[in-house]
Structure 1
Amino acid sequence: MNNVVLVGRLTKNPELRYIPGSGTPVTTFTLAIDRDYKNRDGSTTTDFIPCEIMGKPAEYTANYVGKGRLVAVQGSIRVDKYVADDGNNRSFTKVAARNIQSLESAKKSGVQGENFEGPKFEPSNVVSPSEFDVVNDDDVPF
């Protein structure tokens, strides 16, 4: 099973691009995550984790999540291999994110997207309480 959940802050604004041909949106960003222990001198080590997310979540991330925002990312670890310009084989590890969730409001973080209030849910088939029939059944099994 390859599953990872990370909580950290974006180090800079996400970068959005589109895959040529399909037009699928892809956003890349880096999370800064402090380790859960302190060094002997009392300092904390920070890891910088590259992430990539595709589709609708990529557009959301690029438009409403900015530098410094605290987010949770759920995805998997991916190792990409390539040949460098010098002819050597190289590998690059990143998180292929499937879901991203902001863990603080834009107003609190003071970053991009301050006017974003989150997705609105508007039910299409609203039934008022007066449309229900009252059931008077004395034969209730409990």
Structure 2
Amino acid sequence: MNNTVLVGRLCKDPELRYIPGSGTPVATFTLAIDRDYKNKDGSTTTDFIPVEVMGKPAEFCANYITKGRLVGIQGSIRVDRYETPNGEKRNFTKVAGRNIQALDYANDDKGGNPKFEPSGSVGSSEFNSIDDDDVPF
């Protein structure tokens, strides 16, 4: 079984590319994740985990996820093996993400305040006033 779940912050905006031939979108980025313990001096160690997401989740990342955002990733560990031009064999470990979810709000462009983007607009005529005496609890 190869399943991993990570929660961390993006180190920089995702890079989006498309696979030649198929046109499948691929987003790559790095997550910064603090370890759950402190060192003797009281500091925490941060791990930087490379992540690759393909398909519709990659387009979501490119359009809505930016540097500093807190995200949850579900996927699997992948080890790519390659050979350098000098003939050295190398391994590169990454997370192949299947699902991604933003866990915080995006900041607005002006003051850094969180902005909430509802899925639909709510007009004032949709609210009905309720007398507190009519509420059963």
Shared fold (TM-score, shorter chain, > 0.5): yes
Alignment-derived partner of residue 52 in structure 1: 52
Whether 2:82 is the aligned partner of 1:82: answer: yes
Q: Give the deviation of 1:48 after TM superposition.
A: 0.1
- SS at 2:107 equivalent: helix
Alignment-derived partner of residue 64 in structure 1: 64
Larger-gyration structure (1/2): 1
Alignment-derived partner of residue 12 in structure 1: 12
Alignment-derived partner of residue 124 in structure 1: none
Identical counterparts, % of pairs: 72
- 8 Å CA contact 1:64–1:116 kept in 2: the answer is no
Q: Give the deviation of 1:107 after TM superposition.
A: 3.0
- 8 Å CA contact 1:10–1:32 kept in 2: the answer is yes
- SS at 2:12 equivalent: coil
- 8 Å CA contact 2:105–2:115 kept in 1: the answer is no
Cα distance in 2 between the residues matched to 1:7 and 1:19: 27
User: Can you list the C-alpha shifts for 1:1-42, whole angstroms capped at 9, x where unaligned?
Assistant: 000000000000000000000000000000000000000000
Letter in structure 2 aligned against 1:98? R
Matched residues, number: 117
Alignment-derived partner of residue 24 in structure 1: 24
Whether 2:56 is the aligned partner of 1:36: answer: no
TM-score computed with the length of structure 1 as normaliser: 0.77
Change beyond 3 A, Cα 1:116–1:98: farther
TM-score computed with the length of structure 2 as normaliser: 0.80
Cα distance in 2 between the residues matched to 1:85 and 1:8: 34
User: Can you list the C-alpha shifts for 1:25-72, whole angstroms capped at 9, x where unaligned?
Assistant: 000000000000000000000000000000000001011100000000
Q: Give the deviation of 1:99 after TM superposition.
A: 0.4
Alignment-derived partner of residue 123 in structure 2: none
Cα distance in 1 between the residues matched to 2:97 and 2:3: 10
- 8 Å CA contact 2:53–2:96 kept in 1: the answer is yes
Cα distance in 1 between the residues matched to 2:69 and 2:2: 26
